[in-house]
Amino acid sequence: MHKASLALAAITFAATTSFAAAEEVNLWVRISSGAVLQSLAEQYNAKHDDKIIVTQITAEQMVPKLGAAIAGGAPPEGVVLDLIYLPTFAANESLEDITDFVKGLPYANALSPSHVRLATYDDKIYGVPALPDASIIAWNTDLFEKAGLDPNKAPASLTEIAEDAKKVRALGPDTYGFYFVANSGSWLIYDFLPHQWAAGADILSENGREATVDTPAMRETIAAYRDMWTAGAIHPTSRSGNGNNAVEAFASGKVGVLMTGSYIVNLLTAKYPDVKFNVAPIPGPKDGASSFAGGDTLALIAGISEEKKKVLLDFVDFYMQPEQQVFITKESGMPSRTDLAADAYAQFDKRNLVSYEILTKARTPYTFSSDELFVSRTGPFLNLVQSSIFDGNVDAAISKAQDDFTKILERTNP
């Protein structure tokens, strides 16, 4: 009887211990990334006692809702959000330092450099790439051939793009050489700023605290765009349209060059299989190449328990493995690691490799005030592009942007 009681006690203790050891960890994600991350969580949960619970939040609500949850003392344990917001949350001491974990990963050097840079504050790392993307150009090979251009040769500079665009425009009154989304700050940092980075310039200092708007690269970029606009080579809805307009215009076969993103290859091949196109990195005004590193970063909220921290970091290592990286590529177009080209793209269109390979040179503005500077429809960046390219007020637009950037930075820098 005594032995039976001891055995029962041992079983009860083991069951209680096992139950206590299982953790449920809440992870907030943007709806745009929700399906992929939900599937990854389900794959992880099927193999572990611990569970990742995914909650999807609209992109517009993510930052204010997360800020309110942190302030109210009831945030999730982890969050997957737009990488451009990482400096702000890190500076506010809202995120958990995971420097040792990141640096200890055997594939640490293969993580998207810009995602790691944006997740770094005061030499500490607060996040890891989740679902990156990159900006590129696409060109219609049929239109290039009709215009007497080499359909297999990517434009090597923005100046060359401008010349090619004018030749495509000459094909007919309803054919245009160039399309970019000029009515959205989010799109402009995605496809306009890479021209600066390709030339070794930037609109902000390395630490994001000073404005550096007036550079030769900025003036050369504006000049090339202005040249295309005055020549009538830019599609008219570029000025007021959105990203959907851009894809539709290019898919119509009436646009020569499109400023776009890594998703374009799979989108066009799936929905518009008759469009003949190729893709390339975004060039600088004279040479060079770069891209905007966009997408999501996974971060842990400050103060998370060691048990839940272990689960989330284990989940990171899980989705970073080749099998899951191939799944991510299939579902969202680009893996989080830059060393898995052979595995990730073996089954897919090799044109995807262009954005994958440029990710190592891609950049993202490091700033604590991205919405005010870049996203706002009345902000200085959108006004700079609209006023200089379409209205021709280049000197005044650059001077005003420098002043407005500086005022915002002085007010918002931590």
227-271 tens-digit pLDDT: 999 999 999 999 998 777 899 999 999 999 999 999 999 899 999
* Range list for CATH 3.40.190.10 in the chain: 2-133+293-358, 134-292+369-412
Q: Which CATH superfamily is domain 2-133+293-358 in?
A: Periplasmic binding protein-like II (3.40.190.10)
In this prediction, what percent of the chain has a pLDDT beyond 70?
95
Rounded Cα distance, 70 and 315, in Å: 22
Which pLDDT does position 340 carry in this prediction? Answer: 87
What pLDDT does 346 receive? 81
Superfamily for domain range 134-292+369-412: Periplasmic binding protein-like II (3.40.190.10)
Helical pair 243-251 and 264-271, crossing angle rounded to 10 deg? 50
In DSSP notation, 145-211 reads HHTTS-TTS--SSHHHHHHHHHHHHTT-TT-EEEE---S-HHHHHHHTTHHHHHTT--SB-TTS-SB
DSSP H helical ranges for 177-302:
185-191, 194-198, 216-230, 243-251, 264-271
Q: Given phi > 0 = left and psi -120 to 50 = alpha, else beta, which region is 249? A: alpha
Quickly count helices (H) and strands (E) in the chain: 20, 12
- Report strand pairing: 289-290 vs 24-30: unpaired
Handedness of CA 115, 121, 127, 128 (dihedral sign): positive
- Cβ-based neighbours of 128, under 8 Å, separated by 6 or more: 98, 102, 111, 115, 116, 119, 297, 298, 316, 320, 336
Cα–Cα dist 87/118, whole Å = 6
Reference 107, options 336, 328, 362; nearest CA is 336
Confirm if 237 and 245 have CB atoms less than 8 A apart.
Answer: yes
Place of tokens 């079983």: 11
Q: By the 8 A CB rule, do 292 and 189 touch?
A: yes
Looking at residue 260, its pLDDT comes to: 96
**Alpha carbon 175 to chain centroid, angstroms:** 30
- pLDDT at residue 2, rounded to an integer: 43
For residues 400 and 408, is the Cβ–Cβ distance under 8 A?
no
- Residues of the chain with confidence (pLDDT) below 50: 1-18
Between CA 162 and CA 149 the distance in angstroms is 13
pTM: 0.91
